[in-house]
Amino acid sequence: MIDSEETNKYNTELFRIRSYEVENSGKATLSSICNYFQEAAGLHAQKLYFDISDLMKKGMTWILYRLHVQVIRFPKRWEEVRVTTWPSPGNGIRAFRDYELRDIDNKRIALGLSQWMMLDIKKKRPVKIPQEVMQFGDHNYGHVLPADRSTIPQSESKDLDFIAKTGQHDLDMNNHVNNVKFIDWSTGFMHSEEMKSKKCHEIQIQYTGEAKSRDKILLAQNESLKDSGVMYQSLYNKERELLSKAVTKWK
Protein backbone atom coordinates (compact mmCIF):
# COMPACT_ATOMS: atom_id res chain seq x y z
CA MET A 1 0.00 0.00 0.00
CA ILE A 2 1.26 3.48 -0.81
CA ASP A 3 2.51 5.36 2.22
CA SER A 4 3.16 9.05 1.78
CA GLU A 5 2.91 12.18 3.89
CA GLU A 6 1.79 14.05 0.78
CA THR A 7 -1.67 12.51 0.93
CA ASN A 8 -3.15 15.01 -1.53
CA LYS A 9 -1.19 13.26 -4.27
CA TYR A 10 -3.11 10.03 -3.71
CA ASN A 11 -6.77 9.20 -3.52
CA THR A 12 -8.42 6.04 -2.16
CA GLU A 13 -12.07 5.16 -2.69
CA LEU A 14 -14.09 2.18 -1.45
CA PHE A 15 -16.53 0.36 -3.73
CA ARG A 16 -18.76 -2.70 -3.53
CA ILE A 17 -19.26 -4.85 -6.62
CA ARG A 18 -22.94 -4.55 -7.55
CA SER A 19 -25.19 -7.09 -9.27
CA TYR A 20 -25.29 -5.31 -12.63
CA GLU A 21 -21.48 -5.11 -12.71
CA VAL A 22 -20.92 -8.88 -12.86
CA GLU A 23 -21.33 -11.40 -15.67
CA ASN A 24 -22.90 -14.86 -15.48
CA SER A 25 -19.90 -16.19 -13.54
CA GLY A 26 -20.78 -13.85 -10.65
CA LYS A 27 -17.48 -12.00 -11.09
CA ALA A 28 -16.93 -8.38 -12.04
CA THR A 29 -16.56 -7.45 -15.68
CA LEU A 30 -13.38 -5.81 -16.91
CA SER A 31 -15.34 -2.68 -17.76
CA SER A 32 -16.72 -2.38 -14.21
CA ILE A 33 -13.15 -2.39 -12.85
CA CYS A 34 -12.27 0.33 -15.38
CA ASN A 35 -15.30 2.31 -14.22
CA TYR A 36 -14.00 2.19 -10.63
CA PHE A 37 -10.61 3.44 -11.82
CA GLN A 38 -12.30 6.26 -13.73
CA GLU A 39 -14.53 7.21 -10.79
CA ALA A 40 -11.64 7.31 -8.30
CA ALA A 41 -9.57 9.41 -10.70
CA GLY A 42 -12.42 11.85 -11.27
CA LEU A 43 -13.00 12.30 -7.55
CA HIS A 44 -9.28 12.91 -7.04
CA ALA A 45 -9.13 15.49 -9.84
CA GLN A 46 -12.11 17.25 -8.27
CA LYS A 47 -10.33 17.42 -4.91
CA LEU A 48 -7.26 18.90 -6.61
CA TYR A 49 -9.36 21.38 -8.67
CA PHE A 50 -8.41 20.10 -12.10
CA ASP A 51 -11.54 18.08 -12.76
CA ILE A 52 -13.04 18.27 -16.26
CA SER A 53 -15.62 20.82 -15.04
CA ASP A 54 -12.79 23.04 -13.73
CA LEU A 55 -10.90 22.81 -17.03
CA MET A 56 -13.97 23.57 -19.14
CA LYS A 57 -14.22 26.97 -17.48
CA LYS A 58 -10.80 27.66 -19.04
CA GLY A 59 -11.73 26.27 -22.46
CA MET A 60 -9.89 22.98 -21.97
CA THR A 61 -10.71 19.36 -21.18
CA TRP A 62 -9.05 16.01 -20.52
CA ILE A 63 -8.96 13.30 -23.19
CA LEU A 64 -7.82 9.73 -22.59
CA TYR A 65 -5.15 8.67 -25.07
CA ARG A 66 -4.27 5.19 -23.83
CA LEU A 67 -5.23 2.76 -21.07
CA HIS A 68 -3.54 -0.41 -19.83
CA VAL A 69 -5.35 -2.61 -17.31
CA GLN A 70 -4.19 -5.94 -15.89
CA VAL A 71 -6.44 -8.05 -13.66
CA ILE A 72 -4.87 -10.51 -11.24
CA ARG A 73 -8.18 -11.68 -9.78
CA PHE A 74 -11.72 -10.64 -10.64
CA PRO A 75 -13.70 -9.67 -7.52
CA LYS A 76 -17.08 -11.29 -6.88
CA ARG A 77 -20.54 -9.77 -6.52
CA TRP A 78 -20.94 -7.72 -3.30
CA GLU A 79 -17.21 -7.90 -2.57
CA GLU A 80 -15.69 -4.73 -1.13
CA VAL A 81 -12.70 -3.34 -2.99
CA ARG A 82 -10.48 -0.28 -2.66
CA VAL A 83 -9.01 1.81 -5.48
CA THR A 84 -5.95 3.95 -4.91
CA THR A 85 -4.93 6.31 -7.70
CA TRP A 86 -2.31 8.98 -8.23
CA PRO A 87 -1.10 11.19 -11.11
CA SER A 88 2.52 11.22 -12.22
CA PRO A 89 4.49 13.64 -14.41
CA GLY A 90 4.64 13.07 -18.11
CA ASN A 91 6.42 15.01 -20.82
CA GLY A 92 4.38 18.19 -20.66
CA ILE A 93 1.91 17.05 -23.33
CA ARG A 94 1.03 13.66 -21.90
CA ALA A 95 0.26 12.94 -18.25
CA PHE A 96 -0.01 9.57 -16.50
CA ARG A 97 -2.29 8.22 -13.81
CA ASP A 98 -1.77 4.94 -11.95
CA TYR A 99 -4.35 2.73 -10.27
CA GLU A 100 -4.32 -0.13 -7.77
CA LEU A 101 -7.35 -2.24 -6.92
CA ARG A 102 -7.05 -4.12 -3.62
CA ASP A 103 -9.34 -6.44 -1.68
CA ILE A 104 -10.19 -6.30 2.03
CA ASP A 105 -7.03 -8.31 2.78
CA ASN A 106 -5.01 -5.54 1.11
CA LYS A 107 -3.96 -7.83 -1.76
CA ARG A 108 -3.54 -6.33 -5.21
CA ILE A 109 -6.18 -7.71 -7.56
CA ALA A 110 -5.92 -5.28 -10.51
CA LEU A 111 -3.56 -2.60 -11.84
CA GLY A 112 -3.98 0.22 -14.31
CA LEU A 113 -2.04 2.94 -16.06
CA SER A 114 -3.68 5.66 -18.15
CA GLN A 115 -2.14 8.28 -20.42
CA TRP A 116 -3.96 11.59 -20.77
CA MET A 117 -3.73 14.76 -22.83
CA MET A 118 -5.26 18.18 -22.28
CA LEU A 119 -7.26 19.51 -25.20
CA ASP A 120 -8.11 23.06 -26.25
CA ILE A 121 -11.87 22.68 -26.84
CA LYS A 122 -12.16 25.39 -29.50
CA LYS A 123 -9.03 24.48 -31.47
CA LYS A 124 -9.47 20.71 -30.97
CA ARG A 125 -5.72 20.44 -30.38
CA PRO A 126 -3.61 19.14 -27.46
CA VAL A 127 -2.01 21.83 -25.31
CA LYS A 128 0.84 21.78 -22.83
CA ILE A 129 -0.31 20.71 -19.38
CA PRO A 130 -0.09 23.65 -16.94
CA GLN A 131 2.58 23.49 -14.25
CA GLU A 132 -0.02 23.78 -11.50
CA VAL A 133 -1.41 20.47 -12.70
CA MET A 134 1.93 18.76 -13.29
CA GLN A 135 3.10 19.60 -9.77
CA PHE A 136 0.69 17.07 -8.32
CA GLY A 137 2.47 14.22 -10.04
CA ASP A 138 4.49 11.89 -7.88
CA HIS A 139 8.19 11.78 -8.78
CA ASN A 140 9.23 8.94 -6.49
CA TYR A 141 6.72 6.12 -6.85
CA GLY A 142 7.13 4.08 -10.06
CA HIS A 143 4.37 3.08 -12.45
CA VAL A 144 2.43 -0.08 -11.62
CA LEU A 145 2.63 -1.13 -15.30
CA PRO A 146 5.14 -0.22 -18.04
CA ALA A 147 4.55 3.18 -19.62
CA ASP A 148 4.36 1.79 -23.15
CA ARG A 149 4.42 4.41 -25.92
CA SER A 150 4.54 2.01 -28.86
CA THR A 151 1.70 1.99 -31.38
CA ILE A 152 -0.91 -0.74 -30.99
CA PRO A 153 -1.52 -2.50 -34.34
CA GLN A 154 -4.94 -2.56 -35.95
CA SER A 155 -6.78 -5.83 -36.29
CA GLU A 156 -5.89 -7.61 -39.52
CA SER A 157 -9.47 -8.79 -40.01
CA LYS A 158 -11.34 -7.28 -42.96
CA ASP A 159 -14.71 -8.34 -41.54
CA LEU A 160 -16.56 -5.54 -39.79
CA ASP A 161 -19.44 -6.53 -37.52
CA PHE A 162 -22.10 -4.00 -36.56
CA ILE A 163 -22.31 -4.33 -32.75
CA ALA A 164 -23.95 -1.19 -31.35
CA LYS A 165 -25.60 2.15 -31.96
CA THR A 166 -24.68 4.80 -29.44
CA GLY A 167 -27.30 6.65 -27.42
CA GLN A 168 -27.50 9.70 -25.19
CA HIS A 169 -26.68 7.70 -22.05
CA ASP A 170 -23.37 6.60 -23.56
CA LEU A 171 -22.03 10.16 -23.61
CA ASP A 172 -19.67 11.81 -21.13
CA MET A 173 -19.20 15.48 -20.25
CA ASN A 174 -17.25 16.03 -23.48
CA ASN A 175 -20.40 14.91 -25.34
CA HIS A 176 -18.48 11.91 -26.64
CA VAL A 177 -18.98 8.24 -25.83
CA ASN A 178 -17.49 7.31 -22.45
CA ASN A 179 -14.09 5.60 -22.67
CA VAL A 180 -15.24 2.50 -20.82
CA LYS A 181 -17.86 1.72 -23.49
CA PHE A 182 -14.98 1.05 -25.89
CA ILE A 183 -13.72 -1.65 -23.52
CA ASP A 184 -17.19 -3.22 -23.40
CA TRP A 185 -17.35 -3.26 -27.20
CA SER A 186 -13.80 -4.56 -27.63
CA THR A 187 -14.18 -7.48 -25.22
CA GLY A 188 -17.87 -8.38 -25.33
CA PHE A 189 -18.35 -9.81 -28.83
CA MET A 190 -16.38 -13.03 -29.25
CA HIS A 191 -17.10 -15.12 -32.36
CA SER A 192 -15.89 -18.55 -31.34
CA GLU A 193 -17.35 -20.64 -28.52
CA GLU A 194 -13.79 -21.25 -27.32
CA MET A 195 -13.16 -17.55 -26.74
CA LYS A 196 -16.59 -17.04 -25.16
CA SER A 197 -15.51 -19.43 -22.39
CA LYS A 198 -12.45 -17.31 -21.60
CA LYS A 199 -12.16 -13.99 -19.79
CA CYS A 200 -10.12 -10.95 -20.79
CA HIS A 201 -7.66 -10.28 -17.97
CA GLU A 202 -5.51 -7.64 -19.68
CA ILE A 203 -6.14 -4.88 -22.20
CA GLN A 204 -4.12 -2.12 -23.79
CA ILE A 205 -6.35 0.25 -25.71
CA GLN A 206 -5.41 3.33 -27.71
CA TYR A 207 -8.12 5.89 -28.48
CA THR A 208 -7.82 7.42 -31.94
CA GLY A 209 -11.23 8.95 -32.68
CA GLU A 210 -14.49 10.22 -31.20
CA ALA A 211 -17.75 8.30 -31.06
CA LYS A 212 -20.84 10.47 -30.73
CA SER A 213 -24.56 9.96 -30.22
CA ARG A 214 -26.29 7.72 -32.79
CA ASP A 215 -23.00 6.50 -34.25
CA LYS A 216 -23.03 2.95 -35.58
CA ILE A 217 -20.12 1.01 -34.07
CA LEU A 218 -18.31 -1.62 -36.14
CA LEU A 219 -15.85 -4.17 -34.73
CA ALA A 220 -12.96 -5.94 -36.44
CA GLN A 221 -11.16 -8.60 -34.42
CA ASN A 222 -8.35 -10.96 -35.21
CA GLU A 223 -8.87 -14.40 -33.69
CA SER A 224 -5.89 -15.96 -35.48
CA LEU A 225 -3.90 -15.70 -32.24
CA LYS A 226 -6.64 -17.13 -30.02
CA ASP A 227 -4.56 -20.24 -29.22
CA SER A 228 -2.06 -17.99 -27.45
CA GLY A 229 -4.83 -16.05 -25.74
CA VAL A 230 -3.89 -12.80 -27.52
CA MET A 231 -6.34 -10.91 -29.73
CA TYR A 232 -6.50 -7.58 -31.54
CA GLN A 233 -9.67 -5.49 -31.78
CA SER A 234 -10.34 -2.31 -33.78
CA LEU A 235 -13.49 -0.19 -33.56
CA TYR A 236 -14.83 1.98 -36.39
CA ASN A 237 -17.82 4.26 -37.00
CA LYS A 238 -20.17 3.87 -39.96
CA GLU A 239 -17.83 6.01 -42.11
CA ARG A 240 -15.10 3.41 -41.42
CA GLU A 241 -13.09 5.92 -39.41
CA LEU A 242 -10.89 4.26 -36.78
CA LEU A 243 -12.02 4.93 -33.20
CA SER A 244 -9.74 2.68 -31.14
CA LYS A 245 -7.19 -0.12 -31.30
CA ALA A 246 -6.76 -2.73 -28.59
CA VAL A 247 -4.64 -5.77 -27.79
CA THR A 248 -6.20 -8.13 -25.26
CA LYS A 249 -5.10 -11.24 -23.37
CA TRP A 250 -7.53 -14.02 -22.46
CA LYS A 251 -7.50 -17.08 -20.25
Q: Does 119 lie in the same domain as 77? A: yes
The model's pLDDT over 151-185, given as tens digits with 9 standing for 90+, comes to 999 998 889 999 999 999 999 888 889 999 999 99
Number of independent structural domains in the chain = 2
Say yes or no: 124 and 179 in one domain: no
User: Are 246 and 185 contained in the same domain?
Assistant: yes
Measured from the Cβ of residue 174, the count of other Cβ atoms closer than 10 Å reads 17
User: Do residues 15 and 85 both lie within one domain?
Assistant: yes
Residue 172, sorted as left (phi over 0), alpha (psi -120 to 50) or beta, turns out to be beta
Contact status, residue 109 vs residue 103, Cβ threshold 8 Å? yes
Q: pLDDT by residue (tens digit) across 99-157?
A: 999 999 999 999 999 999 888 888 888 888 877 777 766 556 678 999 888 999 999 88
| Residues contacting residue 11 through CB under 8 Å, at least 6 positions apart | 40, 41, 43, 44, 47, 84, 85, 86
Candidates 134, 87, 139; CA nearest to 113 is 87
Helix or strand (DSSP H, E) at 149: none
Q: Are residues 28 and 128 in the same domain?
A: yes
Domain co-membership, 104 together with 183 = no
Residue 179: give its domain's CATH number: 3.10.129.10
Candidates 150, 153, 229, 217; CA nearest to 181 is 217
Q: Is residue 153 part of a domain?
A: no
Full residue range of the structural domain in which residue 180 is found: 161-250
pLDDT tens sequence across 41-86: 999 988 887 778 888 888 888 889 999 999 999 999 999 999 999 9
